[in-house]
Structure 1
Amino acid sequence: MDSKTLNYIDKKELIKPLLIHIPVTVLPAWLVEVIAKLADDYPDVTIYLFYKPLNITGKKSSKLLWPVTIIEKLVFRQKFRSFKPIDIHASLRLKKNIVFKASPDREIEKNAVNFYFGNCEYSAQEDCYILPHELIYHGNNGVIHFLKRFLLCKRPYQVISKGRVVWKHRFQTLEYSIDKNSGFFKAAVKQSFESIWCSTKKLESIEHVSYNSPGLLKTSLSWSKTALTRVIKRIKKVLFYKRWFVVITNEQNEFTKLVPKGKDGWADPFITDKHLFVEQINAGSGKGHLVAAKLNGGSTISEYSTIVKEDFHLSYPNIFQLDDSWYMIPESAADNSLRLYEATHFPDTWKFLKILQANARLLDFTPLYYNDMWWLFTISKRMDDGGSYDQLFLFYSNDFINDEWQAHPQNPIVTDSSVARPAGKLYFENGALYRPSQNCFEKYGGCIKINKVVKLSQTEYQEELVEEISPESLGVKAHAVHTLNKDSEHTVYDGQTWELKF
């Protein structure tokens, strides 16, 4: 399996040509990169770029907001490379499957999947999709539009067909910079093109909701507030560091806080067979290795020891039992692989068994055995600067250790940074199946969301939010929680707090 490429989407038998109607010949660098990546990923399918000025509603951003970009560059060291203006002819002319069209060709339009920026006269036809017109802006103008629409207003990225939304994607993590979020956005847009154009995904249709763009004063005040927050955070980093800890609760809701000796942190707790498995985070390097701790009769531990340590970062020590053997699949995305370990002496001695997937950055991989089949939930980071929080993929297999995985036809099954990333094992309670997830929209690991799985089959996936778990609801002093796991007697969480460096 090492040499095979994982198929993330269930592809159509016949993929039509892609026709992108370009209203300008100079586009932001991130959008040109998306088009180039699509051409590379689908070399046997033609991509037409048709230059046609469109009636795009909306005004250019006020130059009075350009000082914001200057401050972002000087104070927050933003590069804005994603918004660099790129001439599409000069950049894409060597791509053999990209064809430039200067005049209308109704025959091509009729037999292609069409993407427009802003309004278009053919919006009611089949295979016609409307993208936000802000996507074409570059330079300072592009930065300001991106900041206003997607960060300050917290609006999702949407694609419209026949007047209704068919793709809705929250890609943002608002505590991060413009540069970092523009990378997340690039990956989100690329996925929307690929899913609409090439996959068998059934696109849900919801009523289109219009948004009013904020004015100069509101934009300035909102940005000033976020800038002040980032400055305070920088100052705090001089005196404090972030430390993860584990909280273990019993059936009486009594909880105990657990941390390793020294300044290291513990995160991503899994509990099974009266043993606790965690990621231990080095306080200096931030690099993680895996630790097992034995629980005493209550909620305390008597001893702990390192069980797996590699040259790269490890986390999320997902433990499961299969055919009387114990296995572990930690997150090893830093190695660009998904690795399988087996216990030679449970719980403290483990050996590396095999690579399940090579050339893949799969985060918080979470398998579930249900209805005589393995269901495999994971975040996939498919572009270098793409997000790690907003696209949840689902695969299924009869034997995921030895067989190929089948991509679920609804992949990605969740496109929302507030609910996509796994936060622990799925579990059953009162006959219902629940999926814990992380809310990474406002900040990484802001809180845990519990989602009830309504439909899970080879053709459908549906879930609904039923509960949110925050540090306040747990009654612990922390500013983030992002993992939950259970056994018959205990529930374990993790939390993050600021600790003095000195």
Structure 2
Amino acid sequence: IRDTFGWAIGIYEGDDQFNFTPKRGVKVPTFTADKVKDIPAEFVADPFLVEKNGLWYLFFEAMNMKTFQGDIGVAISKDLNEWIYQKIVLDEPFHLSYPYVFQWEGEYYMIPEVYQTNSVKLYKAKDFPNHWEYVDTLIYGDQFVDPSVFYYKNRWWMFVATTKNDTLYLYSSELLTGPWVEHPQSPVVKNNKRIARPGGRVIVDGESVIRLTQNDEYHYGNELKAFEITELTETTYQEKPWREESLLKSNGKGWNKNGMHHLDAHRIGANQWVAAVDGHRNRFLFSLKY
């Protein structure tokens, strides 16, 4: 008997960035591993959305059962309801996940998790969304996971954890390509699996900056919480819980029975938000030995 995690992706909607429910008229999970056709995918997770010219692009980790490592895939939708899988767009000799895709100065970039390389790497779209090329290594020296960047007050910032899931580091840079320097108050979270590991795109909405964090205290991928950054300069950092209750969590049944750990929220209008989320339930695979 082998116990595995059945991660899948859902599309949610809400009237603000913290009040999400499954999108009306769309089944959940919305995108599952069986829709990936060019590799044998065990699960899909870590979804990130990008809107371009009226189309929505969904980037995600697809766990390749043949190589036992993650690859980055993409699907496309006109309405956020029906998703058409395209292909694996990034495959490296090492594990890839958490494809943090964003636009900057007319170009599209991706910062995926590449913890097996002991670094954080930057990629750029050569032909969006299908072809990506390596640009540079931003930081190195540890098994970094879930690097999450954002631009705020004329400076780039990066939250990143490590495979221990209990420490959150903060880096910044004047330029996207670096040099990146660690903040003097980093690590900003120490020895706390409840609030350390990033859980999706940092939400910058006007002056408001919200970081999302997994609660991995009892098991990986348990629930998602939010923290508001109340002070952020090159020398100071302060934050507070956005609210005590979870932003996303298991409902005890269905596709996300055992937990949720990721959200990528986008404003699409006044009091209108959409988000890509993921969730999982334990799957038990039985095999007979002769």
User: Take 1:408 and 1:359, find their aligned partners in 2: how far apart are those partners?
Assistant: 16
User: Take 2:207 and 2:233, find their aligned partners in 1: how far apart are those partners?
Assistant: 17
CA contact (8 A) 1:338 1:360 kept: no
Partner of 1:486: 265
Render the CA deviation track for 1:25-53: whole Å, top value 9, x for unaligned.
xxxxxxxxxxxxxxxxxxxxxxxxxxxxx
Pairwise CA distance, 1:501? 2.6
Based on CA coordinates, which of the two structures has the bigger radius of gyration? 1
CA contact (8 A) 2:139 2:180 kept: no
Give the letter aligned to residue 492 of structure 1: A
- Within the alignment, does 1:270 sit opposite 2:48 as a pair? yes
**Which is helix-richer, 1 or 2?**
1
Give the letter aligned to residue 353 of structure 1: V
Pairwise CA distance, 1:376? 1.3
Partner of 1:414: 189
User: Take 2:255 and 2:69, find their aligned partners in 1: how far apart are those partners?
Assistant: 25
Pairwise CA distance, 1:422? 0.6
CA contact (8 A) 1:439 1:447 kept: yes
CA contact (8 A) 1:397 1:405 kept: yes
Partner of 1:317: 99
- Within the alignment, does 1:246 sit opposite 2:19 as a pair? no
Pairwise CA distance, 1:419? 0.4
Give the letter aligned to residue 58 of structure 2: L
Partner of 1:495: 279
Render the CA deviation track for 1:131-178: whole Å, top value 9, x for unaligned.
xxxxxxxxxxxxxxxxxxxxxxxxxxxxxxxxxxxxxxxxxxxxxxxx
- What pairs with 1:96-135 in structure 2 (closer than 5 Å)? none
- Within the alignment, does 1:391 sit opposite 2:175 as a pair? no
CA RMSD, aligned part only?
2.2
Pairwise CA distance, 1:241? 2.1
Partner of 1:434: 210
**Structure 2, unaligned stretches of length 5 or more?**
15-20, 35-39, 269-273
Pairwise CA distance, 1:476? 4.9
SS at match of 1:334: helix
Partner of 1:260: 33
Are residues 371 and 442 of structure 1, via their aligned partners in 2, closer, same or farther at CA, if it must alter by over 3 Å? same
User: Take 2:76 and 2:61, find their aligned partners in 1: how far apart are those partners?
Assistant: 15
How many residues get paired?
258
SS at match of 1:250: strand
- What pairs with 1:270-419 in structure 2 (closer than 5 Å)? 270-273=48-51, 274-283=56-65, 286-380=68-162, 387=164, 389-401=165-177, 403-415=178-190, 416-419=192-195
Pairwise CA distance, 1:361? 2.4
**Which is strand-richer, 1 or 2?**
2
Render the CA deviation track for 1:43-77: whole Å, top value 9, x for unaligned.
xxxxxxxxxxxxxxxxxxxxxxxxxxxxxxxxxxx
| Identical residues among aligned pairs (%) | 28
Are residues 367 and 292 of structure 1, via their aligned partners in 2, closer, same or farther at CA, if it must alter by over 3 Å? same
Give the letter aligned to residue 32 of structure 2: V
- What pairs with 1:185-224 in structure 2 (closer than 5 Å)? none
User: Take 1:239 and 1:333, find their aligned partners in 2: how far apart are those partners?
Assistant: 25
**Structure 1, unaligned stretches of length 5 or more?**
1-237, 382-386
SS at match of 1:264: strand
